[in-house]
């Protein structure tokens, strides 16, 4: 069944093109025909113009609408994807760069104790987990910062992620997180590094215990 969400009227004029990064487009309405196909009403807040677009239709030269969902739409330019949400400026959906980290196995208990995650909602809907606390010694190992929002794990949207879940993912050997940081989407790849074994000291020959002469 089609889902119709209209938050404003639209005008027939096409949005003006802008070089470089896309303009701060805002989603004003969606009509989902068969997800992810449908229509989206997009506004350019610089001019106040709104227009309805169908999936596959270009919004700007080189930038086209590729997916429509009840609460957001996806735009694509080349290999980059951008996400537009109701009342929020456009943001990158494709992480700009992947950052790789190797985590020593003996750091897993520290991660469990030094990270605090809180559910994060937008317009009453869960959109990820907020990094509320991060022990400073862990920052070089994880790359995360306080205030980051973890939105995806292994390419899937986050539905449940506690501190124990995060430590468990890392303990498996490999993990991939997608994080929203001040409007920029980042990707973090983790690999578990085995803790180097400390050389064991071989016991030496037993030394004779000192004896005392009896009086």
What local confidence, expressed as pLDDT, does residue 202 receive? 47
Structural domain range at position 23: 3-92
Of 92, 121, 137, which one is at a domain's C-terminal end? Answer: 92
Residue 19's domain is classified under what CATH number?
A: 2.30.30.830
Does residue 198 lie within any of the structural domains? no
Do 47 and 74 sit in the same domain of this protein? Answer: yes
Residue 150's domain is classified under what CATH number?
A: 2.30.42.10
Does residue 208 lie within any of the structural domains? no
Q: Does 22 score more than 70 pLDDT?
A: no
Instruction: Give the chain's domain count.
Output: 2
On whether the CB atoms of residues 190 and 176 are closer than 8 A, the answer is: yes
Does residue 54 lie within any of the structural domains? yes
Do 79 and 124 sit in the same domain of this protein? Answer: no
User: What pTM did the predictor assign?
Assistant: 0.50
Q: Does 2 score more than 50 pLDDT?
A: no
On whether the CB atoms of residues 138 and 160 are closer than 8 A, the answer is: no
Q: Does 207 score more than 70 pLDDT?
A: no
Do 59 and 146 sit in the same domain of this protein? Answer: no
Window from 7-11, 26-30, 110-114, 135-139 with minimum mean pLDDT = 7-11
């Amino acid at each position: 069944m089609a889902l119709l969400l209209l938050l404003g009227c639209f005008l027939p004029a096409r949005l003006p093109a802008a070089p470089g990064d896309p303009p701060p487009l805002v989603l004003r309405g969606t009509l989902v025909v068969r997800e992810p196909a449908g229509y989206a009403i997009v506004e350019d807040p610089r001019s106040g113009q709104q227009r309805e677009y169908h999936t596959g239709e270009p919004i700007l030269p080189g930038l086209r609408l590729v997916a429509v969902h009840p609460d957001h739409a996806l735009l694509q330019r080349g290999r980059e994807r951008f996400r537009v949400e109701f009342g929020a400026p456009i943001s990158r959906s494709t992480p700009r760069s992947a950052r790789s980290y190797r985590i020593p196995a003996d750091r897993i208990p520290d991660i469990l104790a030094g990270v605090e995650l809180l559910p994060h909602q937008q317009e009453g809907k869960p959109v990820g987990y907020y990094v509320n606390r991060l022990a400073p010694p862990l920052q070089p190992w994880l790359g995360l910062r306080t205030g980051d929002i973890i939105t995806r794990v292994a390419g899937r949207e986050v539905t449940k992620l506690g501190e124990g879940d995060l430590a468990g993912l890392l303990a498996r050997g490999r993990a991939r997180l997608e994080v929203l940081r001040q409007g920029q989407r980042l990707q973090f790849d983790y690999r578990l590094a085995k803790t180097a074994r400390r050389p064991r000291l071989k016991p030496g020959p037993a030394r004779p215990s000192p004896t005392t002469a009896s009086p």
